[in-house]
Amino acid sequence: MTTCVVTGGAGFIGSNLTERLLRMGRRVRVIDNFSSGRREHLAALRDRFGSHLEVLEGDIRDLPFLQAACRGAAYVFHQAAVPSVQRSVRDPLTSNEVNVQGTLNVFLAARDGGVRRVVSASSSSVYGESPELPKREGFAPQPISPYALTKLVGEEYARLFGSLYGLGVVSLRYFNVFGPRQDPTSEYAAVIPRFITRLLQGEPPTIYGDGEQTRDFTFIDNVIDANLRAAEAAGAAGQAFNIACGERFSLNELAARLNQIIGTAVAPRYEPARDGDIKHSLADISQARQVLGYEPAVGLGVGLERTVTWFSQVKAGV
């Protein structure tokens, strides 16, 4: 049976990926230090899949721990990170320790363990404020936050590990991922879970800036599909790919759509724009289509409806 390692496997993206791998009949080792990942995301999976799921509590900054975890694995899906732009602005040291040193450790452990391929989570933030849209992988990166810089360094390590050691690493530049299991309570929570939880409470969502900033929102199922394709696609190793829908929507449009889905009419509250946030984001996904065979199957409307349903059930205790 094929064994896969998922770092950050108790988090939002990691737990959804872990579930899909288990449903495919894979054996999964989850690595998580539970600083932001949630044990409850894995509890139901343990009950259903039993010994096919192994949960290893530990930190990716611990190289010997990672080396032991990667032995005998065919694939590593590296999702663990300190993910927030704003947190990285406040605390660049921790972001660097986890996202750079931790990622280097993951690649070393995968190399030493004979792993077939690593799929590593990168970010659209590496493009920075480049005014040209859509963003293409060939653009010169212009990171404007420590978080974005750490992701770019991770991509460079991925490329080097291919050329120096023959380790196949694929970097996926995620664009504004959303969906079930995303945490709305963190100070650094992503915009969609924050908006949904505020509106479900009848309270105004907060928009930083004028709300005309745009994002290429990407439902979680699309991201999971991209990870699975990147693990197998010929010719993908050593490259970075945009993972998105190729459409952009403003935060004002997002608030209006969510009001419509939830059945509310609550106007947003506007606050000053935040340091490190980019104004506009839109992906060119033609390279992912061509090399990975990636196609976003779930658009914004359906994705928002599914996400609202999930958060409504959580609120109701279902």
pLDDT for the residue 318? 55
Q: What share of the chain is helix, strand, coil (3-state, %, to 5)?
A: 45, 15, 40
Dihedral sign of CA atoms 293, 230, 36, 12 in order? positive
**Is it the case that residue 296 has pLDDT exceeding 70?**
yes
Integer Rg of the chain from CA = 19
pLDDT above 70 covers a percentage of the chain that reads 99
Overall pTM > 0.85: yes
Q: Name the β-bridge partners of 243.
A: 174
| Beta partners for residue 177, in sequence order | 218
Catalytic residue among 127, 147, 157, 294: 147
Q: Peptide bond preceding 134: is omega within 30 degrees of 0, i.e. cis?
A: yes
Amino acid at 156: E
pLDDT at 238 over 70: yes
Three-state secondary structure call for residue 121: strand
Taking only the tens place, the pLDDT of each residue in 152-171 is: 999 999 999 999 999 999 99
Residue 75: active-site member: no
User: Per-residue pLDDT tens for 182-194?
Assistant: 988 776 678 999 9
Q: What angle do CA 243, 254, 87 make, to 5 degrees?
A: 65
Q: Tell me the per-residue pLDDT of 20-54, one tens digit each, with 9 for 90 and over.
A: 999 999 999 999 999 999 999 999 899 999 999 99
Q: Which CA distances in Å does 250 have to 101, 139, 209, 287?
A: 35, 23, 11, 25
pLDDT value at 90 more than 80: yes
The Cα–Cα gap between 88 and 205 comes to 23
Q: What is the pLDDT of residues 244-279, one digit of tens each?
A: 999 999 999 999 999 999 999 999 999 999 877 788
The whole-number average pLDDT for the span 196-217 is: 96
Q: In the chain, what are the domains?
A: 3-178+220-244+283-297 (3.40.50.720)
- The whole-angstrom distance between residue 277's C-alpha and the CA centroid of its chain comes to 17
What angle, 0 to 180 degrees and rounded to 10, lies between the N-to-C axes of helices 191-200 and 251-262? 40
Report angle CA 57, 192, 283 to the nearest 5 degrees.
95
The sign of the CA dihedral 150, 176, 203, 39 is negative
Under DSSP, the state recorded for 128 is T
Relative to beta strand 206-208, strand 269-271 is parallel
pLDDT reported for residue 277: 79
Residue found under tokens 């349903």: 309
Contact 97, 88 (CB under 8 A): no
